[in-house]
Structure 1
């Protein structure tokens, strides 16, 4: 199987710069500011909508019990805050199209 190459931040900055006609430095500044705004908004309000991408949401997880997979011992997992990213439907459908519904079978 061929090796999959990831898009690096430098490559993303070059793509933005080329598409918009701005310098790489300006494109990097725009990307950095976008991330900075997303972080600040999620911290402050608990939700940040990233148009065309999805939503960042700060969620509080309850304390629960779990198991240590190595020993099988029961452990307590404390409550904590986590950030969840919910993808936009348009993004999901663009990457992995939704399956077409099957036609109902006719009874003979």
Structure 2
């Protein structure tokens, strides 16, 4: 499911317009982003926990030329799934 499919499902399930459903989805994503920026962590029961991580500076290679390049240190978002989500995923059949 992508963002637009989520908006359509939310609108259909709760008798909302797509505009209102989109506003709700974007507000939730905004809460996650602002909490990560402010607290460095966002926990959502039954889904998981988002945290801010640090990736160290490193060297890499330009795939086109093979030249060595420096990659800057960066902050990244990490996600750890909650046990409830892991249980749901464990029941999913993989493959066709």
- Scaled by the length of structure 2, what TM-score is found? 0.72
The Cα offsets for residues 10-61 of structure 1, whole Å up to 9 and x where unpaired, read as: 2211111111222211111000000011000001100011232211100123
CA distance in 1, matches of 2:22, 2:72: 38
Counterpart among 68, 81, 86 of residue 80 in structure 2:
86
Runs of 4+ residues over 4 Å off in structure 1: 73-78
Cα distance, 1:96 vs. partner?
Answer: 1.6
CA distance in 1, matches of 2:60, 2:24: 44
Which structure: larger Rg?
A: 1
CA distance in 2, matches of 1:12, 1:87: 20
Counterpart among 20, 26, 42 of residue 26 in structure 1:
20
Q: Structure 1, unaligned stretches of length 5 or more?
A: 1-6, 98-108
- For CA contacts below 8 A with separation 6 or more, give which structure has more relative contact order: 2
Partner of 2:4: 10
Q: Give the number of equivalent residue pairs.
A: 90
Determine which structure has the larger helix proportion and give its number: 2
